């Protein structure tokens, strides 16, 4: 069944009056429910994103296969400093990663970002957010909001619609990791740790409310407010047993140094921090170069090599070297310079779309200068992945507008091996990232046509 049939049916339900009414409800509700990023509402369109069950199942199965390859790469890099060198780590990261031996999985939650054309099962991943995956709170509350809208109620007369709420699963895996780390508290307490002025603070609050609703005491805490004393990590008088770390490791160390209270508590195993320090290994953009580079293929099974070939775009650390591209030996810098329309340039350790340069949108002189700069700090060059475009409705200038948006598919992963739920981002430009400015998040639903 074509997904466009379901999309067209939803759009056919939107009269001008209904679209205006829905837009009014959303405008009056988004801020009240914490659905904003900084000062911007996270959702600006009037339709959720749909998957038929068979399309979602393909995304889930292929992602879980690929996770096995990432797990093998992570384990190999933890054991072999020479392999780790391919990831262009910083010196402080080498010191921190050693604190993870003997603990639970390094990532209780993660997210693989991709572009997925369901009609022909074209699935291409572009990044692995293995350190601090955002968006679950937004997705859960947006799903609840859309289920209240008249348009979705009418749509459900013809289609079964299923939500994929994730915050309870997130809490379950945090508690599971605590138990597996031999945590001593019967009723562990959680601190969601990030800087007090980040634009995602609203989403942290959504997580806190959900955790508290399920009986787990939880606070939001800025790293600078924490103390390590008497064998425990504290935020004022609140004992912290689990650090749900949303602050980035690089920012934590840069602002507070290696001897900060979180590192000291983790080193003494006085607190469980998740995702742990070594999760950063696969969060590096160079992890895609590690998987796709022929020199590392001996580390993976035949099935893993197959899924890497099918779903991981050709990626390399920018360096003055020769390598292989589609079976041909190339000079990397010369080839990428001459074929910029095929490639994206990304900093190895940034987030939110920062520093990403799209070759096909960049003049040749600026592209070559970016390549020269990329030799001075770790960057990767990655083969272009075709964007996916779908129509989405908005209410603008007092009329219904249905127009195309780029859309991605970012499945969430729990405990390193299980896919459940999905972040879906929209943009009118090629770079899909809410942090980078503009864009929108929409809830992700599974649908089945009724008989």
Mean pLDDT estimate for the chain: 94
Percent of the chain with pLDDT over 90: 89
Whether the bond between 127 and the residue before it is cis, its omega within 30 degrees of 0, is no
Residues 6+ apart with CB under 8 A from 353: 431, 433, 435, 436
Count of structural domains, the chain: 1
Q: Is residue 209 part of a domain?
A: yes
DSSP 285: T
What's the pLDDT at 145?
97
Q: Is residue 15 part of a domain?
A: yes
Does the structure show a pLDDT above 60 at 438? no
Q: What is the mean pLDDT of residues 106-122?
A: 95
Q: Is residue 257 part of a domain?
A: yes
Q: Which helix (H) or strand (E) holds 228?
A: strand 226-229
Output the six-digit token pair for 105.
Answer: 């999985």
Least confident of 43-57, 197-211, 316-330, 435-449: 435-449
pLDDT in tens, 35-59: 998 888 999 999 999 999 999 999 9
Angstrom distance (rounded) from CA 80 to CA 129: 23
Does the structure show a pLDDT above 50 at 234? yes
Q: What number of residues does the chain have? A: 451
Percent of the chain with pLDDT over 70: 97
Does the structure show a pLDDT above 80 at 207? yes
Residue 78's CATH number: 3.40.50.1760
What's the pLDDT at 451?
83
DSSP 134: -
Least confident of 1-5, 139-143, 308-312, 331-335: 1-5
Domain that holds residue 89: 3-282+388-449
Q: What is the mean pLDDT of residues 245-267?
A: 96
Output the six-digit token pair for 415.
Answer: 């405990």
Q: Is residue 22 part of a domain?
A: yes
User: Strand ranges (DSSP E) for 172-222?
Assistant: 190-193, 218-221
User: Concatenated DSSP letters for 406-427?
Assistant: EE-BEEEEETTTEEEEEEEEEE
DSSP 175: H
Output the six-digit token pair for 130.
Answer: 């293995």
What pLDDT band is residue 105 in, cutting at 50, 70 and 90?
A: confident
pLDDT in tens, 424-434: 999 987 655 54
Angstrom distance (rounded) from CA 239 to CA 186: 13
Does the structure show a pLDDT above 80 at 446? yes
SS3 131: coil
Q: Is residue 122 part of a domain?
A: yes
Q: Is residue 435 part of a domain?
A: yes
Residue 27 or residue 102, greater confidence: 27
C-alpha dihedral sign at 447, 449, 450, 451: negative
Q: Is residue 370 part of a domain?
A: no
**pTM for the whole thing?**
0.94
Task: Please compute, for residue 253, the number of CA atoms within 13 A of its CA located in the half-sphere on the CB side.
Answer: 12
Q: Is residue 440 part of a domain?
A: yes
Does the structure show a pLDDT above 90 at 67? yes
Phi, psi (deg, nearest 5) at residue 244: -85, 95
> Tokens 């659905």 correspond to what residue?
35
Nearest to 428 by CA among 451, 399, 400, 394: 394
What's the pLDDT at 434?
42
Angstrom distance (rounded) from CA 237 to CA 239: 6
Residues 6+ apart with CB under 8 A from 276: 99, 100, 103, 106, 107, 266
Does the structure show a pLDDT above 70 at 291? yes
> Tokens 């074929």 correspond to what residue?
339
Nearest to 216 by CA among 246, 195, 248, 185: 185
């Amino acid at each position: 069944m074509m997904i466009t049939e379901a999309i067209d049916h939803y759009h056919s339900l939107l009269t001008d009056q209904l679209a205006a009414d829905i837009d009014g409800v959303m405008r009056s509700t988004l801020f009240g429910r914490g659905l904003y990023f900084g000062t911007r509402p996270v959702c600006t369109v009037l339709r959720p994103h749909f998957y038929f069950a068979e399309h979602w199942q393909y995304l889930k199965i292929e992602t879980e296969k690929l996770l096995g390859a990432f797990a093998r790469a992570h384990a190999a890099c933890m054991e072999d400093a020479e392999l780790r060198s391919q990831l262009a780590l910083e010196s402080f990261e080498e010191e921190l990663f050693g604190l993870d031996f003997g603990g639970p999985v390094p990532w209780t939650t993660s997210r693989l970002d991709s572009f997925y054309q369901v009609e022909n099962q074209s699935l291409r991943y572009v990044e692995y957010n293995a350190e601090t995956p955002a968006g679950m709170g937004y997705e859960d509350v947006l799903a609840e909001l859309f289920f209240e809208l008249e348009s979705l109620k009418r749509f459900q007369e013809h289609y079964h619609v299923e939500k994929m709420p994730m915050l309870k699963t997130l809490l379950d895996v945090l508690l599971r990791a605590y138990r597996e780390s031999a945590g001593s508290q019967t009723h562990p307490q959680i601190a969601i740790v990030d800087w007090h002025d980040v634009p995602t603070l609203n989403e942290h609050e959504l997580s806190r409310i959900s955790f508290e609703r399920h009986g787990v005491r939880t606070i939001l805490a800025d790293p600078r407010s924490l103390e390590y004393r008497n064998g425990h990590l504290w935020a004022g008088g609140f004992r912290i047993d689990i650090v749900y770390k949303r602050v980035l490791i690089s920012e934590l160390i840069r602002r507070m140094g290696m001897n900060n209270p979180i590192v000291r508590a983790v080193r003494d195993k006085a607190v469980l921090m998740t995702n742990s320090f070594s999760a950063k290994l696969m969060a590096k953009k160079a992890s895609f170069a590690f998987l796709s580079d022929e020199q590392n293929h001996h580390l993976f099974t035949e099935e893993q090599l197959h899924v890497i070939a099918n779903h991981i775009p050709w990626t390399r650390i920018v360096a003055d070297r020769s390598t292989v591209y589609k079976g041909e030996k190339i000079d990397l810098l010369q080839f990428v310079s001459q074929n910029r329309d095929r490639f994206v340039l990304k900093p190895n350790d940034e987030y939110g779309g920062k520093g990403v340069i799209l070759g096909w949108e960049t003049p040749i002189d600026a592209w070559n200068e970016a390549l020269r700069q990329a030799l001075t700090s770790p960057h990767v060059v990655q083969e272009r992945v075709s964007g996916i475009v779908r129509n989405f409705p908005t209410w603008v200038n007092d009329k219904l507008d249905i127009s195309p948006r780029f859309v991605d598919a970012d499945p969430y992963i729990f405990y390193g091996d299980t896919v459940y739920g999905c972040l879906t981002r929209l943009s009118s430009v090629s770079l899909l990232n809410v942090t980078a400015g503009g864009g929108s998040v929409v809830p992700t639903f599974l649908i089945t046509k009724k008989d």
